[in-house]
Amino acid sequence: MAGGKNQTLVTEFILLGFSDLSKLKNYLFTLFFVMYILTVVGNIGIILLVRTDPRLHTPMYFFLGNLSFIDFFYSATITPNTLVSFLVEEKSISLAGCATQLYCIAMLATSECFLLAVMAYDRYVAICNPLLYSVLMTQRLRIQLMTSVYIGGLLHSLIQTSNVFSVSFCGPNVINHFYCDAPPILKLSCSDTFVHETVLSVFASFVTTLPLLVIVLSYCYILSAILRIRSAQGRRKAFSTCSSHVITVTLFFGTVIIMYVIPSSSFSLSKDRALSVVYAVIIPMVNPITYSLRNNDVKQALRKVIVRNLIFKVVHGLPCIP
């Protein structure tokens, strides 16, 4: 540093990725590639189903389509670069590229936090106030909620990216991770990062705690309403509409809290990397599968598309591949 001002001397970073598992790189490449294909097909499939099937033109599936949109781009921000890293020796990324990746990741992850809270509120209105559901959850409100979700993600991402890249990087420039994440980047700074780490933790706590409180409060009311339902079939139906969301919330917030809220000294970087795989690769793949397998409306819409496709092929004399 000169004149007491921060100077960024590092122009690029080296991502270690999974270099310590070089003997398994072919297997890891295949595994990540398969998971990415499933993620792309699953999330785009959900988006197309929600847009094309009239039965899915409801608030619940409007939010589900946006969740798939976020998961698709979240995975696209991380996984392709990870796949390339298995094939090349030099795993470098420019400073600007690293900042851009961090910004996109933080924006999409924050948006998903807020969206999961909005989806919990939607389930609360649907189960606790079913007669007023269509009146309360209007198209205008849905658009306002989604706009707030994305604006919240953009603002938080701007704060966190500016916070991380306002420190000095004088070397080393090796990030012990497979993508540009805030904690391992801050570890490379040659200046005092206490304030920056505190800002990271405080804002991460806020964007996880606030949505989580909304989710927990919503499900307290939902559980109370379900227990008042007299018929066992009615209770099962109510539980089934919430089960997919509960699974998504548990996986997502569990890994986020461990990675960003709990102090980094509490676990090793290898465990942090393993959690990141769950958070960045597995969850975007699992979400559409979870909602497809546990949701009758989605399954019926999918069957309708498959049957329509088969009929089209039969009529036009095309080969039918199951």
Q: What is the DSSP track for 31-65?
A: HHHHHHHHHHHHHHHHHHHHHH-GGG-SHHHHHHH
The angle at the Cα of 16, spanning 10 to 18, to the nearest 5 degrees, equals: 165
239 domain residue, yes or no = yes
1 domain residue, yes or no = no
> No. of H helices and E strands in the chain?
11, 3
Q: Identify which of 194-203, 264-273, 295-304 has the greatest average pLDDT.
A: 194-203
- Cα 88 from Cα 119, distance rounded (Å): 41
- Look at residue 22 in the predicted model and tell me its pLDDT: 81
Give me the CATH number covering residue 37: 1.20.1070.10
- Look at residue 224 in the predicted model and tell me its pLDDT: 92
193: left (phi over 0), alpha (psi -120 to 50) or beta: alpha
- Cα 143 from Cα 50, distance rounded (Å): 16
Q: How confident is the model at residue 1 (pLDDT cuts 50, 70, 90)?
A: very low
Tens digit of each residue's pLDDT (9 = 90 or more) over 19-28: 878 888 899 9
- State which residues form the domain around 286: 12-315
5 domain residue, yes or no = no
Task: Tell whether the model's pLDDT for residue 91 goes beyond 90.
Answer: no
Tens digit of each residue's pLDDT (9 = 90 or more) over 34-46: 999 999 999 999 9
182 domain residue, yes or no = yes
Average pLDDT over every residue of 121-136: 92
172 domain residue, yes or no = yes
299 domain residue, yes or no = yes
Higher per-residue pLDDT: 10 or 79: 79
Task: Tell whether the model's pLDDT for residue 320 goes beyond 60.
Answer: no
3 domain residue, yes or no = no
Q: How far apart are the first and last CA of the chain?
A: 64
Q: Are 99 and 161 in contact (CB under 8 A)?
A: yes
Q: How confident is the model at residue 214 (pLDDT cuts 50, 70, 90)?
A: very high
Q: What is the DSSP track for 54-123?
A: GGG-SHHHHHHHHHHHHHHHHHHHHHHHHHHHTT-S--EEEHHHHHHHHHHHHHHHHHHHHHHHHHHHHH
Task: Tell whether the model's pLDDT for residue 229 goes beyond 90.
Answer: no
In whole angstroms, how large is the CA radius of gyration of the chain?
A: 22
Q: How many C-beta atoms lie closer than 10 Å to residue 140's C-beta?
A: 8
- Look at residue 20 in the predicted model and tell me its pLDDT: 79
- Look at residue 6 in the predicted model and tell me its pLDDT: 46
Task: Tell whether the model's pLDDT for residue 128 goes beyond 60.
Answer: yes
- Look at residue 87 in the predicted model and tell me its pLDDT: 87
- Cα 61 from Cα 296, distance rounded (Å): 12
Q: How confident is the model at residue 310 (pLDDT cuts 50, 70, 90)?
A: low
Please, which residues bridge with residue 174 across strands? 14
Q: Identify which of 29-43, 197-211, 242-256 has the greatest average pLDDT.
A: 29-43
Residue among 169, 196, 168 nearest 182 (CA)? 196
What's the number of CA atoms in the CB half-sphere (13 Å) around residue 244? 22
Average pLDDT over every residue of 261-268: 57
Q: Identify which of 73-82, 229-238, 264-273 has the greatest average pLDDT.
A: 73-82
Q: Token pair of 235, please? A: 């209770």
Q: How many domains is the chain partitioned into structurally? A: 1
285 domain residue, yes or no = yes
